[in-house]
Amino acid sequence: MEQSGAQRPEVTITPCADGPLLVRGAVELRTQDGELIDPGRATIALCRCGRSAIKPFCDGSHKVAGFRAPSGPLRDPLRPEPDSAG
């Protein structure tokens, strides 16, 4: 869903349903030691299933593994929804 009235962010991260995190925009990917990682492409797919052989990138293994996760946040059924009135 597009944000109305808000300025579009320079970087977006999209959790794909049952798949990777897609990172779009001007970002630097670095190791924890600060070494630059060249993703080799403009849109980066980061693994969130833990099965990729080329971490931190997605290699499609999530499909074979049957990884399941929604695009949006999981809701705890025992917690009340945030009050939308503020």
Q: Which residues in this chain contact ligand FES in the complex, by CB under 6 A? A: 19-20, 47-49, 51-52, 58-62
Q: Which is nearer to ligand FES, 66 or 77 (CB)?
A: 66
Name the phi and psi angles at 75, rounded to 5. Answer: -105, 140
From the CB of residue 61, how many other CB atoms can be counted at a distance below 10 Å?
Answer: 15
Q: Which is nearer to ligand FES, 20 or 44 (CB)?
A: 20
Q: What is the rounded distance in angstroms from the CA atom of residue 55 to the CA atom of residue 73? A: 23
Q: Which is nearer to ligand FES, 30 or 63 (CB)?
A: 63
How far apart are CB 17 and ligand FES at their closest, in Å?
Answer: 11
- The alpha helices in the chain, defined as continuous H runs, are 61-65
